[in-house]
Chain A
Amino acid sequence: MRFWGRALVLGVGLLAITTLFALQRSRFRPFGDEEDDPAPIPPDAREKTEYAFARLRYPSAGRSWWFRSSWPTDYPKADRQFVQGVRRLTRIHTRSMEEVVDLDSDEIFKWPWIYAVEVGHWQLTDAQAKRLREYLLRGGFLMTDDFHGTLEWDVFMESMGRVFPDRPVVEIENSDPIFHVLYDLDERVQVPGIQYWYTGRMYERDGIVPHWRGIYDDQQRLMVAICFNQDNGDAWEWADHPRYPEKYASQAYRVGINFIIYAMTH
């Protein structure tokens, strides 16, 4: 009895310590267990800067419990490689490490540019949709990326329709400043994901034709830039890999940089 009592205390203690460790996140790797493609933490990771790549952490739809969420796709390697380009190619004072934000608190309002990946799987709650709407109307900017085909578009629109039930999603004209604010991007191509390596296919699912769509505010300023049927995130992530074509990586960088500068000027 005495033995079993001690064993119980020891077991409860171990469980508590394990739980504590599980819940405790590293200061520099708050979502370490959800990282899709880990990358080294830059030495100046916590520098206070004007701009930081803010990745939106959102709830995913239809994912089984054993399957990871879709928000950290390519995270954090894509983010950190992309901001290296932003730092080198522009005068934006940019942080070397990304910031993960969510729609559950007002903290997101301090990050006027956010990136959401694989939004063909997101499922925003009504409260989150409402906060995103407020965020965008106050002057925030959302770039979405890496979702493909009819089914994922429908899932995307199910949540976006609740964010802006009254605003249409339209194709962004080539003449729009977002394609010229720094780089002239009249001639864009479909940026493929990593599947291009092993299938040689540019598209995923039935997303054969790339689209650059958007949602405008009342002053004809883009609030949401939608990269549909393309995967800029993979291009940033694999830009350092010899097998990933340079021209797609270059375009992904240019598009991303244009989107940031547009958001900081309009």
Chain B
Amino acid sequence: MFEFLFKYPASVFAKGRFVLLSSWPVWILAACCAAAALALAWHVRRNRANLTGLRPAVVWMLESSFVALLFLLLWRPALSVTTLRPQQNLVAVVVDDSRSMALEENGSARIAQAIHVLDSGLLSQLRRRFQVRMYRFGGRAERVADGHNLSGGQNATHIGDSLSGVLSDSSGLPLGAVVLLSDGADTSGGIGRDAVAELRRRRVPVHTIGFGRERFSRDLEIAGAAVPARALPGSRLSADVTIVEYGYARRKARLYVREGDRVLAAREVTLKADGSAQSEPIAFQAGAAGGQNLIFGVEVLEGEENTANNAVTRLVNVEAAKPRVLYIEGEPRWEYKFIRRAIEEDHALELVSMLRTTQNKIYRQGIANPKELEPGFPSTAEELFAFGGLIIGSVEANYFTPQQRELIREFANRRGGGVLFLGGRAALGDGGYARSPLAEMFPVRLPEAKGTFHRDEVKAELTPAGTHSPICRFDDDAGRNAEHWTRLPALADYQETGELKPGAVALLELSAGGRRRAPLLAVENYGRGRTAALATSGTWRWQMLQPLEDKTHEIFWQQLLRWLVMDSPARVSASTPRPVLSDEIEAPLRAEVRDKAFQLVTDARVAAHIVGPEGLSVSIDLPPEGHEPGVYTARWTAEKPGSYVAEIVARRGDEEIGRDVVMFRREDGVAEHFRAAQNRELLEKLAEETGGRYYRPEQASRLGEEISYSEAGITVQETRDLWNMPLVFALLLGLRGVEWMLRRRWGVV
């Protein structure tokens, strides 16, 4: 319709500049229009007859507009546009040949639809006017003779990299435009700014033709799975799995975690509204030490259009290390005994404890040698920071020297350890912590008053946050787990605390003596580490008042202490920001190196020994990162798909500072199955930013004409007359017609 009325496509108007071709000056046009308007005003006023009110003004306006338009046509209005010079420019036709283009829709694959568009005239149109270079691309662009080599078999879709490749291939040539045929399902995380900037600099418009449905009608997709990168053997882990569904709203689906063929956990979920991302937690047990390839997925539902996006793989490094936790207790208590018993059953943890049995005697258990902790609580960073977690029982704040209190603070803040404060008659508020420098470490505000510890029974109540915490999980099923908590015997005692601090989370609460609910177990992050407060010393009742077979008490303490130490870094802490390389080959490796006092080490020699598929074994150095002291990085190319284990060792001189293991996995072609619907937004944005246009396949035939208007390549300035646009004639007739109709209506014809 637009082209019928305006004679030219909209893109001509968008790119063209309005000009008047007549050699007469424009001021004469303005003067003529003004003179005509005055003359018509005088004429209408004199002959207004029965015209009253605003009617003479309306007639005057219509007649003046008509005359002004006629004068304008005499000055020959036109558009001046830059067009590509025929046969002297190059047009790159770039076709997405990735796996997502092989998806079948409406009886044919997207790639077949793209070939059909090219063969049904677009390619011949382009070839008549330009030299055409054809490319296919996946991870990068490569030149092909024609569309017959396209199969939709490439493992990745890197649009930005591919366009950069096309620009590079045509450097020095008059590249007039790029025609991109794609579904826009980019797997590299988006089109890089560099590629767009280069296209804009060379003024090369990218015209995009989008293929594929913009959303599936029936599909389940795992859009993400967040799981800890590290775990202790046998730990209960909780992963957050994000599901996106189309066409199955309110239906049930089965969410699972597998390692190989072994299902670690599974549960039923009710799917929410179409297109909304729904996060579902799933709890499972980490297995024995070693790398685990865990598959998080939903079982395929009947009629799904894309079943390859129902599962994702994540790596979890189950560490063989046995973190040590130091527990200082100020008086013999049943809680102490039963905590020790619970942790003795956990082969992944080591509990070292020191108990003040009398005023001057400390009974030590779990020590590595008779000398350990002999002088009492550690007073040096080297000694204290060797532990990954710290439990402070019924010990007054003043029992610690100012230096030890600072060490405890630094234990969480700098060393990244976990500190757990227990309730007791010399703990929390009653222990004088509210006024000590350690007060800031608590996740709750502490009352300054004494007498907050009560030896009265109270029930622990699970909070919504506690429902999803691996600390409070006894059953993988959230409903059964909540019911389990209601059945637990009462605690032997409790301690009053204040409100939660900002950023802290209460996992358990209590309501006693008619008071409002108060935090019982609260946790928060503190510096590089984490802290927790458990305002009771009476969980031992869960052991003594329940059948021997019941493991609630043991599991609770094991999970709490595992949480306490799980993220406590070792002196050498290795990581990678990309544990899964989706269609990428370069693995970034990072190691942070600290000494025994956990101060950053800047003069270490750091090397990684990498073991990978097909017996690969290679060593590389990690040089110091210039901007971050104590950090050593390297980028290594993973040549083959599969799982890799990198053991990173740091040395200073002949002394080994420490070692750590990081795992990563290269996956080729997997990302292609995710977010596989047409990303129209990306294609439109790319076209808009480069001066091109987005087309649906059925509109592609117009591209042959419109592509000529480009400022890139070898161009020529052309003018397009506007006086003979059908719209002009329609306007002239319309103005006269409207006046005639109005006069008829007003009876002044």
Contacts and interface: CB of A to CB of B under 8 A. Distances in A.
Contacts of A266: 337, 340
B540 interface: yes
Given A110-B544, A112-B540, A138-B544, A181 B333 contact: no
A139 B361 CA distance: 25
Given A181-B363, A265-B337, A92 B332 contact: yes
B357 interface: yes
Given A90-B332, A138-B544, A140-B544, A264 B337 contact: yes
Contact of B548 (A137, A182, A264, A265): A137
B543 interface: yes
Nearest to B344: A219
Contact of A91 (B331, B340, B365, B546): B331
A49 B333 CA distance: 10
Given A181-B363, A265-B355, A92 B544 contact: no
A48 B332 contact: no
A29 interface: no
Contacts of A265: 332, 336-337, 340, 355, 363, 365
Interface string A85-120: 000011111000000000000100110100000000
A109 B545 contact: yes
A44 interface: no
A261 B455 contact: no
B528 interface: no
A50 interface: yes
Contacts of A92: 331-332
Chain A at the B interface: mostly helix, strand, loop or mixed? Answer: loop
A20 B308 CA distance: 81
Contacts of B358: 89-91, 182
Given A93-B425, A109-B544, A48 B356 contact: no
B455 A49 contact: yes
A134 B358 CA distance: 31
B341 interface: yes
A260 B363 CA distance: 14
Interface string B344-382: 100000000001111101010100000000000000000
Nearest to B492: A110
A263 interface: yes
B450 to A, nearest CB: 15
A45 to B, nearest CB: 15
B297 interface: no
A139 B540 CA distance: 10
B341 to A, nearest CB: 6
A93 B492 CA distance: 14
B334 A50 contact: yes
B455 A48 contact: yes
Contacts of A260: 332
A48 B544 CA distance: 19
B141 to A, nearest CB: 67
Given A48-B455, A112-B334, A265-B340, A91 B548 contact: no
Contact of B331 (A50, A139, A181, A182): A50
Interface in B529-549: 540-541, 543-548
B416 interface: no
Please classify how large the interface on chain B is, using the bins under 10, 10 to 19, 20 to 34, 35 or more: 20 to 34
Nearest to B355: A265
Contacts of A48: 455-456
B135 interface: no
Residue among B356, B358, B492 having the largest count of chain A Cβ atoms under 10 Å: B358
B389 interface: no
A212 to B, nearest CB: 20
Nearest to B353: A265
A261 to B, nearest CB: 6
Interface in B443-495: 455-456, 492
A50 B544 CA distance: 15
Contacts of B526: none
B284 interface: no
B338 interface: yes
Contacts of B344: 219
Given A91-B332, A112-B334, A139-B338, A134 B548 contact: yes
Interface string A178-191: 00011000000000
A92 B426 CA distance: 12
A31 to B, nearest CB: 24
A140 to B, nearest CB: 7
Contacts of B338: 139
Contacts of A134: 547-548
Nearest to A135: B544
Contacts of B330: 91
A264 B330 CA distance: 13
Nearest to A111: B544
A49 B365 CA distance: 24
Interface in A240-263: 260-261, 263
A157 B391 CA distance: 42
A51 B540 CA distance: 13
Contacts of A261: 332, 357, 363
Given A139-B544, A261-B332, 12 more contacts: A89-B358, A90-B357, A91-B356, A91-B359, A110-B541, A112-B337, A134-B547, A134-B548, A260-B332, A261-B357, A263-B337, A264-B332
For the complex of A and B, list the 4 residue pairs with the smallest distance between their C-beta atoms, beginning with the closest. Answer: A48-B455, A264-B332, A91-B331, A109-B544
23 contacts: A48-B455, A50-B332, A50-B455, A89-B358, A91-B358, A92-B332, A93-B331, A106-B545, A109-B544, A110-B544, A112-B337, A112-B544, A139-B337, A139-B338, A139-B341, A181-B357, A181-B363, A182-B358, A182-B363, A261-B332, A264-B332, A264-B333, A264-B336
Interface of B: 330-334, 336-338, 340-341, 344, 355-359, 361, 363, 365, 425, 455-456, 492, 540-541, 543-548
